Amino acid sequence: MASEITSTEYIRHHLTNAAMCNTDSGIAFNKACENAGFWTWHIDTLGWSVFLGILFLVMFRSVAKKATSGVPGKMQAFVEIVVEFVDSNVKDTFHGKNALIAPLGLTIFVWVFLMNLMDLVPVDWLPWLAGQIGYHGFGVDPHHVYMKVVPTTDLNLTFALSISVFLLIVYYSIKVKGLGGFMKELTFQPFNHWAFIPVNFILESVTLIAKPMSLALRLFGNLYAGELIFILIAMLGMYQLPLHFPWAVFHILVIVLQAFIFMMLTIVYLSMAHEDH
Cis? peptide before 246, omega within 30° of 0? no
Residue in 46, 1, 50 with CA at minimum distance from that of residue 20: 46
Tell me the C-alpha distance between 254 and 116, whole Å: 9
- 218 is a catalytic site residue: yes
Active-site hit among 116, 173, 200, 222: 222
Residue in 34, 7, 262, 14 with CA at minimum distance from that of residue 157: 262
Amino acid present at 194: W
- The length of the chain in residues reads 277
- 192 is a catalytic site residue: no
Residue in 117, 118, 120, 113 with CA at minimum distance from that of residue 79: 113
Q: Distances in Å between the alpha carbon of 22 and those of 1, 49, 140, 144, 231?
A: 30, 22, 20, 19, 31
Residue in 93, 116, 97, 96 with CA at minimum distance from that of residue 105: 93
Q: Distances in Å between the alpha carbon of 253 and those of 59, 113, 169, 184?
A: 23, 11, 28, 41
- Phi/psi at 100 (nearest 5 deg)? -80, -25
Residue in 166, 117, 124, 152 with CA at minimum distance from that of residue 42: 152
Active-site hit among 98, 156, 218, 271: 218
Residues taking part in catalysis: 214, 218, 222
